[in-house]
Structure 1
């Protein structure tokens, strides 16, 4: 929210000389985070000038310029830039006339950009300044011609400071408004917060408006909601008032244009600007209808199946039965709380206006805005909660401005439906605030703080009953009230005390292992990343289904991005996206990993069907069980991706590109950090390279895959041909690993080393042969390592020779060569039995 200082000062006493930083500091004290400051970035002298004469001079480039004589100071006086009262100025615009009052930027001034103005020679003349357009002054987007003050209804003396005249000397602070404090999306709300922070006198703008009396037949309106969302009626308040005989073609006053501009709102036309102005002032969105284009009474209802509406942005929209719409006899004429319809739009020919201010259910508005991708200023306020008590005052304020600025006549009475429920009292026991916040507050301090925010505070036995003000829908429980007390009385009173953890508590085993895995991978040079858990159904089918069988995916009801509405079944799509983004920015060598949840629903099972409990009520165990049953399995995975060179090219050292070996090493590190023994076997995965994919097993159970990404997928993702990846189920590894890891004792007696070469069929996995040798050799075998895989001369066609390095050791004696050979041959024998291996001659 952007807050112009001059506007803020109308409703709260801002001391003279208060800077933007002072205002920000005050608002920060009451919990409103500062964002930025905004000014018009103008520097004078910029004055009102009068066009005395001009000569049109065609140029050789086909352009015609005007050589103008412009009075910039009264006769006999020196101009603001120290020059003469009449300046010669070259101007390319042709929309002004002799006698027009214009805005002249004199030499030495600076326009937004920054764009300094100086006397310069152009088109054969010395142009001593510039006649400015609205866009050049920062007032709007109109750059077709210069700004004629008569079009704004201004007739100021020549030489008048135009910066002050047009309200361009104002500035605004910008604050971040959290979702629970929608009231701060208004000058009214921010002024109240500034008063809380400084103790300044606050004047509620709503109290300064005389709300119009409502009668039944002022304009017929009705609300029918036959399909409320979770029992919440879509609209509870609807106020309307008619203003007749307005002059919609009148210009918007400069002070209003300047304030709207600083507040981030573009000036459109007088009538629209008035509705936007009151929205910013009160926090109540306003909509105006061309009364002569309405057909019959207004009805608020849910949209019907197949109904369509063309909104003010010119887009034809298919309405959803959940959408709230404003209708007349022809059908929908507005998307309630989000955007009006084009058929009844106010325009320059509008003579009679029906002004509407309503209150809409935040949930309905939030869903509609996201469904139609319409994050309008109105929706932004309604989905956070708008004060239901101010609608009559808001339409009266709009009517007053339309009378004052557009020359209209407001009807004596208006229409009003007000069915908003009364706020219920919240019990706040004595001592509750102090016990929760950790500060000793007196009963008077608690009472005064809650009264200051607008609450109706009543003393009862053992505490207070507090009815929150209508503009604070976020205050629903005693903890909310406690937070308000702490906020208003100062967060600086809360002591900084480090809580002491109860003995015996600390990180769980799972937490320790997760940290250990991340530390181990990071120590090996990998970078941890955090990717969004959202993906496409196609990616889930490719990366989340190793064998290519159909899989189920969880689809979000309100996805942040419609192109990725599904929850991921694998971490790999996110890592590929990270790699693609970094490669496009010049990072050619990457080693990244992520620890995160994946979502694995069962096919044919409905999820999320349980009714959500009301937020402020403790759900029953049955409800909790139903909610938990509606959540799919969410195991924690570890994903790794490497691309580029593992060792870069150096003088005398060739580059070493990444490959499947690096993916296997990463998995070994993960398993080591988790205290598990990992095994690899030849595998296949739909997303991975045939022949360069390994199954990862712990205790014989499949827990993941490692290898190289399929070349077709690397090409599709604009990645190098070789991308090493691995993904394992960390939760599964934890469940299979021993909680207590035994250290292997270091042998003190001599070891006997021997090699064993076995010839087996080419299709036999080396891991199967190694497992048989290890088992057959018995306890004397301390270490086994595959050192060679040979296929060529001397080995039969369709076979391979596997050479293993074996290390034997006994814990109680020195082994003889015969004992080692016997154990080796026992291993070879079992390998022959299981895999058909034969000792190579």
Structure 2
């Protein structure tokens, strides 16, 4: 919200300087984001009148002007000024930079000093200025023409009120009542106690009895609709300079008198309105919800398709306006418009909220209506606009047509004075509360220790007791709060040692040579279908970009995109990970403060490795990272807990080179090489090895096993090596499970150290068999092992391998 200080002070003028006023608003909750002057610094520029403008004798595009700058210059005699502006002519009043004047600083930051000059042999005693040269606007089409009644010789800063300051407020969504100069002035009046000067709005007497039929078919869309016909307006009229100036200082350019008047009253009173070309309306206006398939061409040139969730204003033939957001092109006023219909309505915030963003644009009207606009002021608003139209464009106003269906219920809110004092943290009396509510214009009733407040129609943010408590302290002033130390003990939350923090996990993954990456949670639909096998992802209603249209259910697509980004920048080696949320359809999830019905939002840990397994070094040859490198990284992250890797298929991964990851018998994720077809589809290099990816459930990744103390063995371990012949289907995992299942043995560890399969046939190995050599570590903490116990334990291991895997001892 931007506005000039002078306009604010026209409503409420407290005895505060600009900075103090800005600080007061900021401390009351209306943060002043920026203060900047309405015009850059310059001096020595006055109002002057061109008396004569003759052709320059030596230049076709220059004129020699005689200029009256007032009695203070050249003893009242006309000054000779050479000017090249196309609109330099006798009889107009323009800014004159006299000799010695300083124009606004240029790009070098230094002011431009005016001196006596000579142009094509003719002396010039000053310079006539355009708006661009004074840096008041970008208009450089000619001299800045001033009002005909401007006093000659007056300083231009005083004439144009350039010593003004522009306020830019950064308002939170609950402060919709502050989106107008009157709304801010009402706050300043309450904060300072200075009376508020409300604009005088008198009913416009009707000159005819014509009314446009209006029907409200959707009470949940429009609570009140007011309007009137005005005939015989002159749309060729000129918008007054004072209105153009105020609009410009609110960041709004002048368009046409009718549009300017509508915008002006919106900034003044806070209510958007719309002006229709009456002759283009077919019979009537109907306020209703849209119908699927209906189209509307808007004022911004876009053609949109509406549905039953979008409010519209239609006539008997077609749609004419997007309710509360933007008018339609068909009934827009133009230079040929003669008869108009002026409308002001109360649109329910819920009916406007998000509709503009749905079509990828936002408007000042939608911004205000979705926060709540005073439903009680529609008639006064129409009267204010009508009077301005009659004053500027002429015409004959008809009678007011005001229809009400359902307005917001102003529910009383109780304030307990004792609770207010407790929450605020300093003594508050009932008289203090009464004073605050009176200054805010809130109606209330009193009882001992309790005040019952009925919110006014323009306050949509007062609903509970805490809202009233906030009003009390911000009007009394936050600086009055005492510096009170906290009374409650500050106790740190101790996490269980069986669960490490997310930051500890990040550091552990980074220690394995991975770099963290952060990506959007919304991704391309193609990624979900191809890499996650998700044919029905959760779609966004208003994506920030057309490709990023769905919520991800896997981190794999994001990681592959990071790989592509790095490869495009010639990265020779990529190892990245991400900890982020995924979004899954789950009917068991209910609606809550941190959840959305039907959507599960677990966090995952994902990683990708591509390129060389290690940094380049002289002592070993380069080798591409493979499945087992990443498998080892995961085992190191979870150590001493044992992960189990079971062959499985995944839409994104290479069959036969992918596995599901299990922990304590529960599946927690997947690991594997990227499928060759996706390497080709996503234009990844075929050399350098395949990217290896993993994705794990974060909760399972955070759990850890607590260390348990154990004494140093008093006995010496014994090592025994055995070689068994097994079928090729026997994996390392099956071998270790069979050995670990031997009960009552002294086996402390088993490690596979050799696998042998001859190229040609062997006397002791048959086709489809191989030899696997295992080193057993045997230990008894209490007694020295004897040969008998050692041989007995080895025999038990061989027997278990034979029974479970069909293994036999190799000769």
2:532 paired with 1:544: yes
On the 8 A contact 1:13/1:200 being kept in 2, the answer is: no
5 Å matches for 1:15-414?
15=15, 17-19=17-19, 22-39=20-37, 42-45=40-43, 50=50, 52-55=53-56, 66-69=61-64, 74=69, 85-89=79-83, 91=84, 94=86, 97=89, 101-103=93-95, 108-110=102-104, 117=112, 134=131, 142=139, 145-149=141-145, 153-154=147-148, 156=150, 160-197=154-191, 199-203=192-196, 205=198, 208-211=200-203, 219-226=211-218, 233-404=220-391, 406-409=392-395, 411=397, 413-414=399-400
On the 8 A contact 1:399/1:410 being kept in 2, the answer is: no
2:3 paired with 1:3: yes
Closer, same or farther in 2 for the Cα pair 1:808/1:251, shift >3 Å?
Answer: farther
On the 8 A contact 2:661/2:670 being kept in 1, the answer is: yes
1:788, 1:212 → 2: CA distance?
A: 102
1:96, 1:788 → 2: CA distance?
A: 100
Structure 2: runs of 5 or more not aligned: none
C-alpha displacement of 1:186:
1.5
On the 8 A contact 1:607/1:632 being kept in 2, the answer is: yes
**Aligned to 2:335, what secondary structure does the other structure show?**
coil
512-521 or 346-355: bigger deviation: 512-521
Closer, same or farther in 2 for the Cα pair 1:203/1:363, shift >3 Å?
Answer: same
Closer, same or farther in 2 for the Cα pair 1:268/1:701, shift >3 Å?
Answer: same
1:801, 1:56 → 2: CA distance?
A: 111
1:504, 1:306 → 2: CA distance?
A: 58
2:503, 2:524 → 1: CA distance?
A: 30
On the 8 A contact 1:777/1:825 being kept in 2, the answer is: no
1:731, 1:637 → 2: CA distance?
A: 8
Deviations 1:127-165 (Å, cap 9, x if unpaired)? 99876655665555655x224516xx5564666544554
2:206, 2:495 → 1: CA distance?
A: 63
2:779 paired with 1:809: yes
Closer, same or farther in 2 for the Cα pair 1:429/1:218, shift >3 Å?
Answer: farther
494-503 or 183-192: bigger deviation: 494-503
2:567, 2:158 → 1: CA distance?
A: 52
**Aligned to 2:244, what secondary structure does the other structure show?**
helix
2:261, 2:539 → 1: CA distance?
A: 42
2:472 paired with 1:485: yes
C-alpha displacement of 1:438:
3.9
Instruction: Pick the aligned partner of 2:738 from 767, 772, 775.
Output: 772
C-alpha displacement of 1:460:
3.0
Closer, same or farther in 2 for the Cα pair 1:117/1:810, shift >3 Å?
Answer: farther
1:53, 1:667 → 2: CA distance?
A: 89
1:417, 1:68 → 2: CA distance?
A: 61
Deviations 1:332-368 (Å, cap 9, x if unpaired)? 2111101001111122333333222111011111142
Partner of 1:617: none
344-353 or 816-825: bigger deviation: 816-825
Closer, same or farther in 2 for the Cα pair 1:42/1:567, shift >3 Å?
Answer: same
C-alpha displacement of 1:235:
0.6
Which has the greater radius of gyration?
2
On the 8 A contact 1:44/1:108 being kept in 2, the answer is: yes
24-33 or 527-536: bigger deviation: 527-536
2:645, 2:57 → 1: CA distance?
A: 86
Closer, same or farther in 2 for the Cα pair 1:421/1:182, shift >3 Å?
Answer: closer
C-alpha displacement of 1:709:
3.8
On the 8 A contact 2:10/2:197 being kept in 1, the answer is: no
1:747, 1:795 → 2: CA distance?
A: 45
2:402 paired with 1:416: yes
**Aligned to 1:66, what secondary structure does the other structure show?**
coil
C-alpha displacement of 1:524:
5.5
**Aligned to 1:374, what secondary structure does the other structure show?**
coil
C-alpha displacement of 1:275:
1.2
1:511, 1:10 → 2: CA distance?
A: 63
Q: TM-score, normalised by structure 2?
A: 0.82
Matched residue count: 792
**Aligned to 1:343, what secondary structure does the other structure show?**
coil
Partner of 1:684: 649
Partner of 1:638: 605
Closer, same or farther in 2 for the Cα pair 1:600/1:305, shift >3 Å?
Answer: closer
Deviations 1:770-802 (Å, cap 9, x if unpaired)? 333444597534344556677886899987776
2:571, 2:154 → 1: CA distance?
A: 58
C-alpha displacement of 1:311:
0.8
1:251, 1:112 → 2: CA distance?
A: 32
Closer, same or farther in 2 for the Cα pair 1:350/1:139, shift >3 Å?
Answer: farther
2:419 paired with 1:432: yes
On the 8 A contact 1:475/1:481 being kept in 2, the answer is: yes
Closer, same or farther in 2 for the Cα pair 1:113/1:445, shift >3 Å?
Answer: farther
On the 8 A contact 2:79/2:125 being kept in 1, the answer is: no
Deviations 1:627-657 (Å, cap 9, x if unpaired)? 9994344444323345667865579898887
1:490, 1:511 → 2: CA distance?
A: 46
On the 8 A contact 2:129/2:144 being kept in 1, the answer is: no
**Aligned to 1:706, what secondary structure does the other structure show?**
strand
C-alpha displacement of 1:413:
3.8
**Aligned to 2:584, what secondary structure does the other structure show?**
coil
**Aligned to 1:344, what secondary structure does the other structure show?**
coil
Structure 1: runs of 5 or more not aligned: 59-64, 613-623
1:795, 1:245 → 2: CA distance?
A: 109
On the 8 A contact 1:139/1:261 being kept in 2, the answer is: no
Instruction: Pick the aligned partner of 1:553 from 537, 555, 566.
Output: 537
C-alpha displacement of 1:371:
2.7
On the 8 A contact 2:292/2:307 being kept in 1, the answer is: yes
Deviations 1:650-709 (Å, cap 9, x if unpaired)? 79898887654564355345535xx84322234432213445433211123221012444
Partner of 1:471: 458
**Aligned to 1:357, what secondary structure does the other structure show?**
strand
Partner of 1:621: none
Aligned CA-pair RMSD: 4.6
5 Å matches for 1:642-653?
642=609, 648=615
Deviations 1:284-321 (Å, cap 9, x if unpaired)? 11211123333333221222333221110122221212
767-776 or 314-323: bigger deviation: 767-776
Partner of 2:718: 752
